[in-house]
Amino acid sequence: MLNKRPGVIAWLSFLLALGAGALTVFAFAPYRLWWLMPLLLAALGVLAERRPQQGFALGYGFGLAAYTSNFHWIYQSLHNVAGLPAFIAAPLVLLLPAYLALYPGLTLWWVGRLQPRPSLRWLIAFPAAWTLTEWLRSWMLTGFPWGAIGYSQITESPLSSFAPIGGIHLVTFAVALTAGAVVTLYRLRGAWLLLPIAASTALWWGAVALKPLRWTEPAGAPISVALGQGNIPQALKWRPDVYEMTLARYYRQVATTRADLMILPETALPAFLDDLPAGYLTMLLGDATRKNMALALGIPRHTRDGEGYLNAVVALTEPGAPSYAKDHLVPFGEFVPLPLVTGWIYQFMDMPMSGFSRGGARQAPIALAGQKVAFNVCYEDSFGEELIGPAKSATMLANVSNLAWFGKSNAMSQHLQLSQARALETGRPMLRATNTGMTAIIGPDGRIDAVAAPDTEQVLTGQVQGYGGDTPYMRVGNMPVLLGAALLALIAGLIGRRR
């Protein structure tokens, strides 16, 4: 009956692809069911193998459901916080997944057009193409790397051991190769079954063998750190009647804390540095100096020419108050892309400080408490290769964030997983000071050493050892993985075309 109704089968396959994509949310933090991702990707592959002519639709449906289920929290920021009407916010939330889904759609379309044996199609072409398209979306239109399948393996899966060798894209390749091996097992018979079994066995055995290795070495003496979490709701953060309460809360945290280094989160103080009340900085500096505590805090500051403003981290206790200013800005949140086209949206939104200037590349780490700390602000730790340069001359990484924009959603946990990947790739501890969560201390192996309960006011403390030296990924970046994937895709394409 079904064989006579190909349209029914096509729709059923599409619905199954949607379901598999929606379930990917459980592979990432906070659920961390890492083993689920290769299986869901394999299910998509089986559907595409059965109906190669439907490849783009299946890949697009999988991606649309995956990115919608993973990033639904964008609606919270646009509607609940920024005040955008629901009839505008909802379509805008769907616009991002609708764009991102093009990449898995193109991957399955291309793989479906190849004619070689299933082993070549799924063990070579599929992981290569998936890796290349995920890299492509990590920089196209300023880039959005969240949701890359490699992040699902950080840090519980053995495959995470590939991160310090080839970065998150090598982990993505390993996940896609595992899924491709499962699809190949479904298609092959007899002695050919040894091929996917050998490939997946070698991959996972290698990952397990690499897991205990440490690529960097301790540098300097361990220091005590304190990470402030003010828990100021975004809806209140910029209100004048809450301003004094915010200043008092963070002053109290500084005054009652003893540590070698204390860091306060992104835009912890909702005012420009030179607009703070007279005497407030003096009080902060006095308390920190008396305790010999280095203090860095997130605060907006004007550019040198006074024409723009920066999303900055300022080291108050160091001579000259050295600072880091965010360079990779968030479109719509921190700058207006194509203002002639998209500028009208802002008349419906309450978006204070949505026109930041870029801080500039190659900003040096800041010397604090005997360590060199390379700061990044919020979304910047999504881009692994951009952190390599600062990490080379640093012994610690530090991320300051304000995810109050997204309420009590998975965004906090997903962002924490990105920071874990950056710690793994660089072999450096990562200190995360956030407004509402997840404030955490992450070790150089990517594991979470301490984490503050989200949506609470507190100061997270702990001992942290700095690390020096380069991981293999820091030496070579993404290029070897991308060139390897491109070569494999080229080989698969040429053989497929010849056959």
> Which residues are identified as catalytic?
266, 326, 378
User: What would the two tokens of residue 94 be?
Assistant: 């769907």
| Strands of 294-302's sheet in order across | 323-325, 309-315, 294-302, 261-263, 223-229, 458-464
C-alpha 488/C-alpha 499 separation (Å) is 17
Strand, helix or coil for residue 59: helix
Closest CA to 445 of 163, 24, 54, 202: 163
Angle in degrees, CA 262, 145, 51, rounded to 5: 150
**CB 160, CB 171: distance < 8 Å:** yes
**Strand ranges for 210-360 from DSSP E:** 217-218, 223-229, 261-263, 294-302, 309-315, 323-325
The one-character DSSP state at 231 is: -
All residues at 6 or more sequence positions from 35 whose CB lies less than 8 Å from its CB, including other chains: 157
**CB 55, CB 109: distance < 8 Å:** yes
Closest CA to 313 of 392, 394, 238, 373: 373
